[in-house]
Chain A
Amino acid sequence: MERVPILKIGDILLVSIQVDMSDETAVALQEDLAERIVATGCHGVIIDITALDIVDSFVGRMLSTIASISRVLDAETVVVGMRPAVAITLVELGLSLNGIRTALNVERGMELIAIDRADDDHHEEWDDGPVAGATASP
């Protein structure tokens, strides 16, 4: 079975799918990615599907599952590089890729994750305020 390589770039894990994946390979990628997120403490995952000429319901479900797993592990997933014909086909197939964030290319995906992290840090600081206040009041 082929395995899809996972690259670490700074705080981001980059997965560039370059092969026509068998279902087994897709499931293995899910598991490998979960392990790498925990092992590296990365907060962002970018899945580049530029080379994929189709996304069927199995791969679509895998992408949704990866997004959910990484969210639970405190990492954001962005799927980038979807071809126009793939997008048209996905919608007609009835797959909405719920919960998946997308960007046109890797660069924009990285920007999206960076903005997200900045927002999160901001919210965390802001959230501390009311909590601290609540403990002070009776």
Chain B
Amino acid sequence: MTNGVDLGRPQAQTVGSDEDVVRVRQLVRTVAVAVRLSLVDQTKVVTAASELARNTLVYGGGGTVEVTAIDNGRRPGIKIVFVDSGPGIADLDLALTDGYTTGGGLGLGLSGARRLVDEFDIQTASGQGTRITITKWSR
């Protein structure tokens, strides 16, 4: 693949500051281009990653993001995993509701990010951190 992006090899970025959220966006953009996502799909997945990386920072107290170029045999895609060991999410249904926030934001981060990607998986429990995996496939 192009731009030093190898299929199946995750690239990690720690998230501990505002600037790291910018770096996550840039990394996701590079991989999204390498797996030939359309411009609109690149924009959607970078936006989703920006929302989730900010959540990792603000709510999770920082963590890591792993970005991987993948291929399911029919088409390439991008998989991104956001991990933090913060307080976790007590009520997931509520957290995924548009407009719900505990942080003074717009409450669109989690729910909006889910709409922008093809696959969205979240594992969390109160006091046990949060792990979110998103996937976007090339069309």
Contacts and interface: CB of A to CB of B under 8 A. Distances in A.
A54 B43 contact: yes
Contacts of A88: 40, 43-44
B38 to A, nearest CB: 9
Contacts of B46: 53-54
Nearest to A21: B22
B28 to A, nearest CB: 10
A81 interface: no
A83 B115 CA distance: 20
Contacts of B26: 20
A56 B18 contact: no
Interface residues on A, range: 20 to 34
B43 A23 contact: no
A57 B46 CA distance: 12
Contact of B108 (A20, A54, A84, A95): A95
Interface in B41-85: 42-44, 46-47, 50-51, 54
A62 to B, nearest CB: 11
A61 interface: yes
A94 B22 contact: no
B129 interface: no
Given A24-B18, A56-B51, A95 B43 contact: no
A23 B47 contact: no
A110 to B, nearest CB: 27
B25 interface: yes
B62 to A, nearest CB: 14
B126 to A, nearest CB: 24
Contacts of A84: 40
B36 interface: no
Given A22-B21, A94-B112, A58 B43 contact: no
B109 interface: yes
A58 B54 CA distance: 9
Nearest to B113: A93
A24 B39 CA distance: 27
Question: Most chain-A CB neighbours within 10 Å: which of B21, B47, B115?
Answer: B47
Given A56-B51, A57-B109, A20 B43 contact: no
Contacts of B22: 20-22
A95 B112 contact: yes
A93 B43 contact: no
7 smallest beta-carbon distances between A and B, as pairs: A22-B18, A93-B112, A85-B43, A56-B50, A85-B40, A57-B108, A54-B47
Given A57-B105, A58-B50, A93-B113, 13 more contacts: A20-B22, A21-B22, A22-B18, A24-B18, A53-B46, A56-B47, A56-B54, A93-B115, A93-B116, A94-B112, A94-B115, A95-B106, A95-B108
